[in-house]
Structure formats: C-alpha cells, structure tokens
Amino acid sequence: MFAEAEDALGALTGLVNNAGIAGRLGRFDALEPAELRAVFNTNIIGAMLCAQQAVRRMSSKYGGSGGSIVNVSSRAAELGGANEWVHYAASKGALETFTRGLAREVAGEGIRVNAVAPGLIATDMHERAGAPDRLAKLGPSLPIGRVGTAQEVAEAVAWLMSPAASYVTGTILHVSGGR
C-alpha cells in the first residue's frame, strides 16, 4: 500500500491513522474474545503497522525528509467507556500511549507524532452499535451544548499535519466540546 502510494504521489510526508472500529455496545463481560481481538487489531495493531511503514519512509535516519503522523483516538481513552465500550476505550488508550512514545522516539528524525481525541461526533458509529439516539441524548449535556462534526475533527487533524503545528509533537488534542 505504501509503495503504491509513493509511486502515484511521490515521497510520503504524512500519515493519518483514522481506521477504527468500536465493536458491540455493552458491558465488557459480555464481549466475545473474537470481538476484542478485532477491535485491538484494527485500532492499535493496524495503526502501529502503518506508523512503522511511515517512519521507515519519512525518518531522516533512513534518508527521508521528515513528516507528520496523526492518530485518531477518542475521549473514551480517558473516560473509560464503562457499560458501553470498555474494550474500545482501552484500545484508544493504547493508541495514545503509542502516540506519546513514538513521538519521543522519532522527533529527532524530523517526524512529529500527535493524536486527536474526538468526543461525541455526528457519525454513524453509534447507530451501527445499536444506540441510534445516543447523540441526541448526550449532545445537550456537553459543555458546548451539542455534538461535534466530522469536519471539526478533520480541521484539527489538518492543523496537526500542517507547518503551523511544527513545534507540536507527543500531544493528544481533545476535540470534544469540553467533555
């Protein structure tokens, strides 16, 4: 995938690890091992493997000219996801730890590594998990009074990828309306 992208677009300068799944909504003790594996394989192992390929291409240690990696986490990483998505929250917590560690490891090689941690965002994730009314119920209780949009998250990612964030690395940026 990375070789094909480089052939088509040129040298890699950035990676956004945005693939993720929440899995089934519910208590952790009702979770099947296969569901747990699927969430961790997608949310943390997949992100780590993609970041590894990106570092090999962007690091000055390997002849690259640097770049930026942004991982998409979740406020659930800090909030814990009790009675809903403990497994998802744990996978995103691992992603945030990975973000901080990798940032320190490759900062001197010209690579910045950060994450955004969206809160309640208007996507179909909640509906797919069996809670179509979750956003309508929780949105008004947020300090900002509403759920966020995918565009607002994308703007934060774009800023972290840009030269305007050239001195930012190892940071988890909350995009969560104050939650």
Catalytic position from the list 87, 88, 135, 153: 88
3-class DSSP string for 85-147: CHHHHHHHHHHHHHHHHHHHHHHHHCEEEEEEEECCECCCHHHHCCCCCHHHHHHHHCCCCCC
Pick from 161, 13, 110, 71: nearest CA to 5: 13
What is the pairing mode between strands 172-175 and 111-118?
parallel
What is the pairing mode between strands 14-17 and 111-118?
unpaired
d(CA 143, CA 139): 9
User: For this structure, is 88 an active site residue?
Assistant: yes
Residues 24 and 129: beta-carbon distance below 8 Å: yes
Tell me which residue has tokens 């320190």.
104
Catalytic residues: 88
